[in-house]
Amino acid sequence: MTRTGFGLGFYVRSKIDDTWDADAHVGEYGWAGSDCTFYWVSPADNLIVITLQQSVPFEWDFGVKKLIYDAVKK
């Protein structure tokens, strides 16, 4: 079953599971670009995030998303 769909230039998270980006929220959308640039938008959290970091080799789960979501909750 698909937990993430793609269209119009970005991914959309439709369901949570641990197989891909466990820190993403349902309804979140965004994209991972070249050289480890990321953006994501979470309408439910009133959040827009753009991150730029060096990660060679590329790693999806770099821990920043969880830190940001935890900070917003507080």
Q: What residue spans define the domains of the chain?
A: 4-73
- In the predicted model, is pLDDT for residue 30 greater than 80? yes
Q: What is the mean pLDDT of residues 46-59?
A: 76
pLDDT band of residue 1 (cuts 50, 70, 90) is: very low
- Short-list 27, 38, 33, CA closest to 65: 38
Q: What is the mean pLDDT of residues 31-55?
A: 81
- Short-list 24, 26, 74, CA closest to 49: 24
pLDDT higher for 43 or 2?
Answer: 43
pLDDT for 40 equals 87
